[in-house]
């Protein structure tokens, strides 16, 4: 059926996340999951889980993300990206106004997702409703956090900014709100995701490197890097119980307080992953043939 693996992929521009995963399914495992897609026009880091590790998708989904975005002022598209139709034009603001607005848009805030997004509204995707001509798809603002926004360059009408954001933050919405805050219009011209939690794009495999994908290692080091995870060595009896979905009290007693996930190890090899909050094993680690 394929191999178990956790690995980082550098998606290119102009390819959908679905097509990117298709290459991985052919080379690694048909059972493949991702921890957050990227729009077709965007490029950069994706975390991909294969085989038994697909059960770990929720653990990786909540991580913060870092992007480098090029935002064009003076016009806005319906999709808030370069693939949409221009629906609004405005004068380009000054550098001083832009930098001031960037500072004001940092921190915890309510953000309205883009109309062209994959959010479900009454059983339908928001973008499907928008494409069918709906003027109001019924999206609601969501609580997000823009931890930092660093201006890298301003060459009117283009702003390049590095954004460190919480789960659920839309950079396209940030551009829309930034443009309006500057009494202008704006959209994301290009987007590069450089980091997800502690995972960096520099350590990723190119999406089109077939040889690297075919020989991808299991990636246990990425499992260890998951924030809040800890390795706990268990004996044969405890391992037998764990493979059958039961974590003995003697094991729980050895898990440090404040941990989120315990990687249960036997003889130096992972047996399973135990979620402390859910009080259950969420991933059995074994080889698939």
Active site residues: 39
End-to-end CA distance of the chain, in Å? 6
- Both tokens of 173, joined, read 């919405």
Total length of the chain: 289
Q: Which residues of 106-142 are buried (b: 16+ CB within 10 A; e: fewer)?
A: beebebebbbbbebeeeeeebbebbeeeeeebebeee
Helix H or strand E encompassing 271: strand 269-275
How far, in Å, CA of 264 to CA of 260, rounded?
13
For residues 172 and 81, the answer to whether their CB atoms sit within 8 Å is yes
- Both tokens of 65, joined, read 């993300």
Q: Biggest alpha carbon distance in the chain?
A: 70
Written as one string, the DSSP assignment of 31-84 is SEEES----TT-EEEEEEEEGGGGGGHHHHHT--EEEEEEEEESEEETTSSTTS
Cα–Cα distances (Å) from 4 to 11, 48, 49, 281, in that order, read 20, 11, 8, 17
| Closest to 251 in 3D by CA, of 268, 224, 282, 230 | 230
- Both tokens of 96, joined, read 């001083």
Strand 86-89 and strand 75-77: pairing? antiparallel
How far, in Å, CA of 268 to CA of 53, rounded?
18
For residues 274 and 281, the answer to whether their CB atoms sit within 8 Å is yes
């Amino acid at each position: 059926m394929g191999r178990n693996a956790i690995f980082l992929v550098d998606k290119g521009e102009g390819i959908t996340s679905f097509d990117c995963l298709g290459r991985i399914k052919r080379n690694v495992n048909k059972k493949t999951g991702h921890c957050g897609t990227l729009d077709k026009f965007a490029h950069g880091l994706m975390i991909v889980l294969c085989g038994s590790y697909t059960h770990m998708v929720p653990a990786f989904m909540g991580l913060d993300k870092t992007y480098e975005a090029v935002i064009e002022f003076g016009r806005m598209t319906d999709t808030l990206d370069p693939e949409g139709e221009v629906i609004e034009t405005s004068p380009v603001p000054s550098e001083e106004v832009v930098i001031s607005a960037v500072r004001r848009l940092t921190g915890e805030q309510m953000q309205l997702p883009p109309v062209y997004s994959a959010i479900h509204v009454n059983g339908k995707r928001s973008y499907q409703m928008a494409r069918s001509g709906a003027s109001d798809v019924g999206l609601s603002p969501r609580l997000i956090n823009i931890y930092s926004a660093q201006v890298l360059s301003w060459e009117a009408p283009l702003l390049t900014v590095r954004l460190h954001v919480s789960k659920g933050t839309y950079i396209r919405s940030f551009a829309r709100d930034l443009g309006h805050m500057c009494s202008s219009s704006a959209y994301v011209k290009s987007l590069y995701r450089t980091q997800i939690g502690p995972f960096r794009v520099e350590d990723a495999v190119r999406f089109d490197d077939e040889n690297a994908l075919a020989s991808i290692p299991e990636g246990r080091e990425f499992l260890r890097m998951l924030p809040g995870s800890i390795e706990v060595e268990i004996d044969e009896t405890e391992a037998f119980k764990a493979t059958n979905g039961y974590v003995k009290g003697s094991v729980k007693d050895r898990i440090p307080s404040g941990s989120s996930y315990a990687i249960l190890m036997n003889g130096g090899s992972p047996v399973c992953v135990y979620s402390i909050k859910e009080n259950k094993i969420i991933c059995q680690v074994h080889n698939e043939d």
